[in-house]
Amino acid sequence: GAGVSQSPSNKVTEKGKDVELRCDPISGHTALYWYRQSLGQGLEFLIYFQGNSAPDKSGLPSDRFSAERTGGSVSTLTIQRTQQEDSAVYLCASTPTPAGNSPLHFGNGTRLTVT
């Protein structure tokens, strides 16, 4: 079946420009997570959605980062006025419920390069 889909797979942008990253979770998955992974590093949590609401957005690094989810499905992560330190792979994951025994299924990420 279809997995988590992210687009674009690669994005190169100039410093100061805004970018939008999209995540299509697995159908029926109520919980959706955004992480980022810098080169050779582990996962850094950004935000968690349950349905369309975000009970935990504590991982967003600054007010330049925002995310929304509509229809309990697609989510968009927006980074305004991008900086070079924003360069990373942005990963989206979904799971049927937020409980700890519910495996996260990840997309292949969007590789963001800010020049």
Interaction between residue 42 and other proteins (CB under 8 A): yes
Pick the stretch among 13-21, 40-48, 64-72, 74-82 that binds other proteins (CB under 8 A).
40-48
DSSP secondary structure, 65-78, as one string: EEEEE-TTS-EEEE
Residue 56 near other proteins by CB under 8 A: yes
Handedness of CA 95, 97, 103, 104 (dihedral sign): positive
Task: Return the residue of 31, 67, 77, 79 that touches other proteins, per CB under 8 A.
Answer: 31
By CB under 8 A, residue 48 contacts other proteins? yes
Segment interacting with other proteins (CB under 8 A) among 12-20, 55-63, 71-79, 80-88: 55-63
Among 19, 109, 112, 114, binds other proteins (CB under 8 A): 109
Q: Which of 13, 52, 87, 106 binds other proteins (CB under 8 A)?
A: 106
Q: Under DSSP, is residue 86 helix (H, G, I), strand (E, B) or coil?
A: helix
The burial of 25, by beta-carbon neighbours within 10 Å (0-12 exposed, 13-18 middle, 19 or more buried), is given as buried
Taking the alpha carbons at both ends of the chain, their separation in whole angstroms is 36
